[in-house]
């Protein structure tokens, strides 16, 4: 099984949709490295690779919200921070216990589930707001 972005996740802003696809690719690379029994270094690397991209993607969305005066910015940012914190916890677990079955389940269900529901609800609400703004 693979973690993959699918078209039901389209939000309608190509730049954001591309970033979401990249996030799913990196999430899948992380899952594959854990499940495939790769070296500690490789798992550490794929997790760092995901964290780095999540950080830059969230920063891009938050900059857009700030630039357009989005009233839901604080709540949206709090969700991003929760995901970033989850990645920190996951990394601590990986360092302590290695690539366990519990780590696989957390990546496969928790992180993926979080991302999907965040895109469905929270990112879509942002896009609805942006699309209703008068064109400048």
26 three-state secondary structure:
helix
Report the residue from 11, 33, 61, 108 that binds Fe ion according to the rule CB under 5 A. Answer: 61
Nearer to Fe ion, 40 or 121 (CB): 121
Q: Which is nearer to Fe ion, 45 or 118 (CB)?
A: 118
Q: What is the largest CA-CA distance in the chain?
A: 53
Asked whether position 17 contacts Fe ion by CB under 5 A, the answer is no
Instruction: Tell which positions 89-128 bind Fe ion, by CB under 5 A.
Output: 123
Name the minimum Å distance from CB 20 to Fe ion: 9
Contact indicator for 62, 77 with CB cutoff of 8 Å: yes
Nearer to Fe ion, 4 or 60 (CB): 60
Q: Which helix H or strand E contains 131, and what residues bound it?
A: helix 124-132
Residues lying near Fe ion in the complex (CB under 5 A) are found at 61, 123
């Amino acid at each position: 099984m693979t973690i993959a972005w699918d078209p039901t996740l389209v939000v309608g802003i190509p730049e954001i949709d591309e970033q979401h696809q990249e996030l799913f690719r990196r999430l899948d690379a992380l899952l594959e490295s854990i499940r495939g029994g790769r070296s500690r270094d490789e798992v550490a690397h794929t997790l760092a690779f995901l964290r780095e991209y999540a950080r830059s993607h969230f920063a891009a969305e938050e900059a857009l919200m700030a630039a357009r005066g989005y009233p839901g910015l604080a709540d949206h940012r709090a969700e991003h921070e929760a995901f970033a914190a989850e990645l920190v916890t996951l990394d601590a677990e990986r360092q302590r216990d290695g690539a366990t079955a519990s780590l696989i389940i957390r990546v496969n269900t928790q992180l993926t589930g979080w991302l999907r529901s965040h895109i469905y609800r929270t990112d879509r609400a942002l896009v609805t707001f942006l699309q209703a703004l008068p064109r400048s």
